[in-house]
A and B are shown apart, each in its own frame.
Chain A
Amino acid sequence: MPDIETLFLFGSNPTEAHPIVSLWLKKALRKGAKLIVGDPRKTWMAERADVWLNLKPGSNIAMMNGLVNVILENGWENKEFIAKRTEGFDALKAKVKEYDLGRVEKLTGVSKESIIEAARLYSHAGKAMIVYGLGVTEHQTGTENAMAIANLALVCGHLGRPSTGIMALRGQNNVQGASDLGPLPATLPGYQSVKDPKAREKFEKAWGVPISDKIGLKSVEMLDECKAGKFKGLFILGEDPAQTDPDLNHVNKALESVEFLVVQDIFHTETTKHADVILPGASFAEKDGTFTNGERRVQRVRKAIEPLAGKAEWQVISELATRMGYNQRYNHPSEIMDEIASLVTQYGGISYERLEKQSLQWPCPTKDHPGTTTMYTDLFARANGLALFMTLDHKGSGEVPDKEYPYLLITGRVREHYNNGSMTRRVPGIMELVPEELVEISPEDAKKLDIKSGDMVKVSSKRGTVKAKAKVTNRSQKGNVFMTFHFDKALTNIVTSEHRDPITGTPEYKSCAVNISK
C-alpha cells in the first residue's frame, strides 16, 4: 500500500467510517502519493487532496465516464493492457464520447479543470489505486457505479499489480462473512445457488432434508409481504431495521402487521418494540466465533466472559431447531466451523486450530493451503480471462430536489458511533463527545434560512419529518445536508427514500430530497 503513486478515494470517508484503513492511506500520503478525492462533502481527505471532485450525489457514472473520456481523448490510456486484457473497448469509447467536459461539468457540478487534472494524475501514475465506499454503492445505480469505476481502472491498466487495483470499503463488521455463509435468498453458504441441483444435493446429504429450489424473498420483499398480510412470522437476529432501514414508516407498518415477530438483540431497539418475543443476545465478548473482514480475512472472536443471559445465539438457534423437530447439537462453535469447512470450498481449510496460530484469508480450500492474500479482481472471472468494459449511462438518483424539497440529504457515519448506536450510545465518554444527531448544513444555506449552529431544525421529505440540531459547517456544500443514523431520538431514516439498487437491494441512503425549516 505505501508505494502507491496516486490514490483515488471515491465516495468514502475513511477517517470517519474506517479509521484504521485511513491510517494505511495516510501512510501512502506521507510517502508522497498524490490524492484525488471524489466526494460531495469536504471530508478530512478532501481538504488535503490534490484534486477534490466535489460532485453532486447521484452523478458518479457521469463523473467516471467523463474521466475516461478525458483519458482517451488525450491518449493517456494503457493501450497494451486494453488490447491484451479487455473486451468491448470500442463500445466504451463510443459511449464515453457522449460525456464531453461541458456535459460532465453540468451533470456533476465539478469544474473542467479539476476533471482534467484528476484524469491526468490517475492515468500518469505508475501505480494507482482506487478505494471506494458506500458513497458508491448506496445509490439506486450502486452496482453500475462500481462498474463505472472498474472501467476507469481497466482503461489505465491499474489492476493486478501491487499497490494498484480497486478496494471497496463496507460498513458493518461482518458484512463479508454474512454474505459468505449464505443467509441469502438465492444462495446456500459459499455462494452456491439454490438453483444448482448439485449444490442442493451436497447440502441435502449433509443436512438430511430436501432443500427448496425456489429462490426465497429478499428482506425488503419479506417486509412488503408482511404489510400485505401474506407473511405471518419473522425471526430477526441482531438487526434493527426499524432504525437503520430507509423509509421507516413503511418498515414500522410491516413489523406491526406481521402476526408473530421474534427479535434477538442485546438491547431494546426500535425493532424490539414490535416484537412478540424478545430473546437476549450475547455480545461479542461473551462467545466464541469468527468474523471475516473486508479483505476476506477470517479471524477469531473469543469468549472473555460468560453470556449475561446464559446462552449465546449459536446455542439458541440450535435449541430452537431441535424443538421444531430438526435435531441439532454442537458442543462448541468450532464444530460449526468444521461443518462450514466441509460445505463451503472457500473455507475448506479453515479450522479453529489453525486460526489459533494466525488468521487466514479465503479462498483457503485445504488444510495445508496458506490462504490467499490478493485475489484477482472479479473483473477477470470470465471464462476467457478478459475483463469486459461496460457501457453505462448517467441516470441520477431516484429522487432529486424540487421546489418543495429543495435540498439533498446525504446520510452516513461519524467515527464515534456505530450503526443504530445501541452500543456506542451506552459508552459514557462517547456520549460526552457526540451526544446527539447534528444536521450539517453549509454556511450559505444556513444564512439563507437564518439558521445558526445549535438551532433545532426540521428535516422533511415526502415520507416524514425528523428534528435535530443544526451544525453550520463548510463540510457540507451549498444545497446538501448531512445526517447520521446513529440516534434513536432523531430517526433520520424516517426521511430517507425507498429507492434501491435493483441488483443488490442496497438502499439509496446517500441521496434524497428534503426541505429544511426552523
Chain B
Amino acid sequence: MSDRKLKVIINGIETLCDRDDTILKVAKKIGVKIPHLCNDKRLEPYGGCRLCIVKVKGVPRPLSACTTPVAENMEVTTDTDEIIRIRKTLVELLLSNHPNDCMRCERTGDCKLQNLSYEYGVDGSRFEGERWNLPIREDNPFITYEPNKCILCGRCVRICNEVVMAGTIDLVGRGFNSMPDTAFRKPRTLDNCEFCGQCVSTCPTGALTDRKARGKGRIYDLKKVKTTCSYCGTGCNFFLNVRNGRVVKVTSDTSAPVNQGNLCVKGRYGYDFIDHPDRIKTPLIKKNGKFVEATWDEALGLIADKFSSLMKKHGNESVGAFSSSRCTNEENFLLSKFVRTVFRSNNVDNCARV
C-alpha cells in the first residue's frame, strides 16, 4: 500500500485525502455537511439509514457517503435535487411511525431526527404508518429506553457489541416488531450490562437517555464544561453538564484524544457525589473528642500555630505531609513546595504508589 494522497473534489472543492478515507470523513474534514443517522466514528461503517447518500460523477445511483471509500479524482456532489428528494422521503418514512412527542422529549434540541425534520421541512403526515405503543422502560438505575422513539439505526447494538464487546443488546423480534433489546427483554443488570452508557451516548434520538438526568434540563439549559475524569489514570475527557450550579449529567466528548467519547460507568454515571449532603462544607476542629465547625480563619490559624510550635519544640524534622495521587498537578506541586519552604525538610510523600 502506498501512502500517497488521493485527490477528490467535493461540491467543487478540491482536497487531498488518505486512501482508506470515506467520502463522509473527507467531507467533514473540509467542512461540507452531509446528514447521517447511523454513523458514529467509533463504529465500523454500516450504511443502514441511507441519509448520507451523495452523487458521484459517473455512477448512476446515489452512494452512501459513510461506506464509500474515496478514489482518485472522484467528483462528489452532496445536495442534488434528486438526493434532497430521496432524503426528504427517508425522513418522512422515519417520522411516519414516530411519536409526536418533541415537546416533552428529553432530547429536544439535541435530536438528530428532529433536526432533520426541521432542516428538510417535513413531518410524518405523508405516510401515516402504524406506530409502536410500547411502555417506557426504566428497569435499571441509569438507562431509560423509549422503544417508540427508536429509528432502528442500530448504533446502540453495534457500539455494545463492536466497541464494548458486552453483547448486552441486539436486534430482537422480527419485521415490524424488531427492535434493539436485551436477550429475553430482561432488565439490564450487572449480569448482562456494564452500564458504560455507550449505547446512550450514540443514540441519535430520544430512544435511549440517561435516566438520572431526565427532566433536569435540555441541551440549551445546560452549561457544558469539558474536563478530565477524576477516577482511574486513563485520562478520559467528558463534559460536565451544569445547571444552576449543579452537575446534572455527564456527556461524551467525541473529540477526546484518549477515549473518543467512550466512558465507563464511573466516568459517565459516577458524578452524584459532587453535591452529596455528606460533603464537608466547613473546616472542623476537634474539641473534647468532637468535631466542631470553625471558620477558615480559625482553622488555618490553629494549624499554622500548632505546626510552628511543634517545629520550634521538636525540630522541623518532626512534621511532614502526605500528598495524593487524586489531587491535581498544581496541588501536588504546591504541597511539595510547602514542605520544602515552610517545613524546610523533604518529609513529603505521596501516600500510595498504586
Interface residues of A (CB under 8 A from B): 17-21, 23, 26-27, 30, 134, 137-138, 169-186, 188-189, 194, 203, 207-212, 214-219, 222, 230-239, 241, 244-245, 259-260, 262, 265-268, 272, 275-281, 283-287, 289-295, 297-306, 308-311, 313-314, 316-321, 323-326, 328, 333, 336-337, 339-340, 358-359, 415-419, 422-424, 426-430, 432-434, 504-507, 509
Contact = CB atoms under 8 A, between A and B. Distances in A.
B95 to A, nearest CB: 33
Contacts of A137: 354
A173 B196 contact: no
A352 to B, nearest CB: 10
A507 B162 CA distance: 37
Given A285-B274, A302-B226, A183 B350 contact: yes
A324 B304 CA distance: 6
B233 A170 contact: yes
A201 B25 CA distance: 53
Contacts of A303: 225
A175 B274 CA distance: 21
Contacts of A175: 233, 325, 350, 353-354
A181 B332 contact: yes
Contacts of A294: 233-235
Contacts of A30: 162, 165
A241 B285 CA distance: 20
Contact of B190 (A19, A234, A433): A433
Contact of B320 (A203, A231, A321): A231
B283 A278 contact: yes
A365 B349 CA distance: 25
A417 B236 CA distance: 16
Interface of B: 141-142, 162-165, 189-190, 194-196, 212, 223, 225-237, 240, 242, 245-247, 257-259, 262-266, 269-276, 278-286, 291, 294, 296, 299-304, 306-308, 310-311, 313-314, 318-342, 344-354
B239 to A, nearest CB: 9
B272 A297 contact: no
Contacts, number: 437
Contact of A244 (B195, B301, B304, B352): B352
A149 B158 CA distance: 36
B332 A182 contact: yes
A267 B318 CA distance: 27
A340 B223 CA distance: 30
B301 A323 contact: yes
Most buried by B among A180, A183, A359, A416: A183
A244 B310 CA distance: 28
A216 B308 contact: no
Most buried by A among B229, B300, B311: B300
Contacts of B282: 280, 309
Contacts of B266: 415-418, 424, 430
B235 to A, nearest CB: 3
Given A260-B307, A313-B331, A207 B257 contact: no
B328 A188 contact: no
A236 B53 CA distance: 60
Contacts of A419: 326
Contacts of A297: 235, 257-258
